[in-house]
């Protein structure tokens, strides 16, 4: 898992003429496999014996700065690469066109913009974080066929089946933060860890205006092992805040306004290198994210049950949008059958925040 760095692939191609036929042969391949490990370009170069005069195809502009590894531009130049085809430039401020400029000044031909939108889609969460200072927000919920997440009495276990819940655990294992509202924390007492553990350990975040998160909750009890952030409002009682801190939680004091407080948290998470944030509810918190047009991706599980009831809770509350035209709309929708559940996921059209 390479996040918070972008996913990058590199292919080295030798163009050769056999008789009268001009042909291209792939001589090397690589991808950036692990955060802190060698970049795709380096992997591709070491995968072949004679990279000189080859053409390198990369999904992202080669880096030109000393990060965790030496710059790729230097390695490409040294290897005698003839031409580099770049799908899209890297918006990261230490690269941002300089990688391409460096290759050109070394006499290497550079072609840009090949399959650019596909490459940008591949790394949409990374581009969003680097370009806006806000992480990619994934909303997840499980609901009945009639669009309810809990019965009139508040019961929600379990609307989706075991395999669907395993998919949620996989999702948790690849995000940097998991966010819930305090109502959900109190009602369900979730642990919010990935089981089995994924590649990443997500920060567990609770929106808790009045610092009500119980000290005996699973979240607080495991705060020493897996980070817990409690986002409180100005009205939180200091004794409660101190008790949470004493129990190992990190408390963030946020603005009173809910929308401002969402953005405040998201910017802190992005600054700390969080690329993907999963919002697991409840209804009010998902409603607040939806009202702020802050959701980028939706994962919805539909269980084969009908709850009914005017008082049953629906997944996304908040103020909502006043017309269908204004509503958030999914693109690239995929639907999978998971046993008797339907799993619907997709990205939303470009959002404001």
What is the smallest separation between the CB atom of 117 and Zn ion, expressed in angstroms?
Answer: 22
Q: Which is nearer to Zn ion, 38 or 287 (CB)?
A: 38
CA proximity to 281, closest of 136, 135, 142 = 142
- Contact residues for Zn ion, defined by CB under 5 A: 39, 63, 72
Q: Which is nearer to Zn ion, 30 or 173 (CB)?
A: 30
Q: Which of 15, 29, 33, 41 is catalytic?
A: 41
- Tokens encoding 244: 């949470």
Distance between CA 342 and CA 287 in Å, rounded? 22
Q: Please indicate whether residue 118 is annotated as part of the active site.
A: no
What is the smallest separation between the CB atom of 58 and Zn ion, expressed in angstroms?
Answer: 9
For residue 138, list its beta bridge partners: 278, 297
Is-contact 126 6, C-beta < 8 A? yes
What is the smallest separation between the CB atom of 62 and Zn ion, expressed in angstroms?
Answer: 6
The neighbour count for residue 335, using CB atoms within 10 Å, is: 11
- Tokens encoding 33: 């496999």
Q: Which is nearer to Zn ion, 61 or 296 (CB)?
A: 61
Distance between CA 132 and CA 36 in Å, rounded? 24
DSSP sequence for 204-241? EEEE-TT----TTSHHHHTTTTS-EEEEE-TT--HHHH
DSSP sequence for 238-291? HHHHHHHHHTT-EEEE--SSHHHHHHHHHHHHHHTT--EEEE---HHHHHHHHH
What is the smallest separation between the CB atom of 119 and Zn ion, expressed in angstroms?
Answer: 15
Is-contact 74 61, C-beta < 8 A? no
What is the smallest separation between the CB atom of 39 and Zn ion, expressed in angstroms?
Answer: 3
What is the smallest separation between the CB atom of 240 and Zn ion, expressed in angstroms?
Answer: 47
For residue 122, list its beta bridge partners: none
Distance between CA 342 and CA 340 in Å, rounded? 7
Distance between CA 7 and CA 271 in Å, rounded? 19
283-291 and 258-271 helices cross at what angle (nearest 10)?
80
Q: Which is nearer to Zn ion, 110 or 344 (CB)?
A: 110
What is the smallest separation between the CB atom of 64 and Zn ion, expressed in angstroms?
Answer: 8
Is-contact 138 165, C-beta < 8 A? no
Q: Which is nearer to Zn ion, 27 or 72 (CB)?
A: 72
Q: Which is nearer to Zn ion, 72 or 182 (CB)?
A: 72
Q: Which is nearer to Zn ion, 39 or 98 (CB)?
A: 39
Residues carrying an active site annotation:
41
């Amino acid at each position: 898992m390479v996040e918070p760095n972008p996913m990058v692939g590199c292919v080295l191609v030798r163009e050769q003429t056999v008789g009268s036929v001009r042909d291209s042969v792939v001589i090397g391949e690589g991808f950036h496999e692990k955060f802190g490990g060698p970049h795709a370009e380096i992997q591709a170069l070491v995968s072949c014996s004679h990279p000189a005069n080859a053409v390198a195809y990369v999904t992202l502009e080669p880096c030109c700065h000393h990060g965790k590894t030496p710059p790729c531009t230097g390695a490409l130049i040294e290897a005698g690469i003839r031409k580099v085809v770049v799908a899209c430039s890297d918006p990261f401020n230490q690269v941002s066109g300089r990688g391409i400029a460096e290759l050109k000044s070394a006499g290497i031909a550079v072609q840009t913009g090949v399959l650019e939108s596909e490459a940008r889609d591949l790394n949409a969460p990374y581009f969003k974080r680097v370009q806006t200072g806000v992480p990619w927000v994934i909303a997840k919920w499980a609901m009945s066929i009639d669009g309810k997440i809990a019965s009139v009495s508040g019961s929600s276990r379990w609307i989706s089946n075991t395999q669907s819940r395993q998919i949620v655990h996989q999702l948790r294992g690849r995000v940097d933060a998991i966010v819930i509202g305090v109502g959900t924390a109190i009602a369900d007492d979730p642990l919010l860890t990935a089981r089995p553990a994924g590649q990443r350990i997500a920060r567990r975040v609770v929106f808790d205006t009045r610092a009500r998160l119980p000290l005996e909750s699973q979240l607080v009890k495991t705060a020493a092992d897996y980070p817990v952030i409690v986002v409180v409002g100005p009205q939180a009682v200091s004794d409660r805040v101190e008790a949470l801190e004493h129990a190992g939680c990190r408390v963030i004091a946020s603005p009173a306004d809910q929308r401002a407080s969402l953005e405040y948290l998201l910017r802190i998470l992005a600054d700390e290198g969080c690329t993907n944030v999963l919002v697991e509810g409840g209804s009010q918190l998902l409603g607040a994210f939806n009202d702020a047009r802050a959701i980028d991706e939706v994962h919805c599980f539909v269980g084969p049950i009908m709850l009914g009831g005017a008082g049953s809770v629906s997944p996304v509350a908040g103020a909502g949008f006043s017309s269908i035209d204004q509503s958030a709309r999914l693109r690239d929708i995929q639907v999978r059958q998971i046993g008797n559940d339907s799993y619907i996921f997709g990205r939303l059209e470009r959002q404001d925040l």
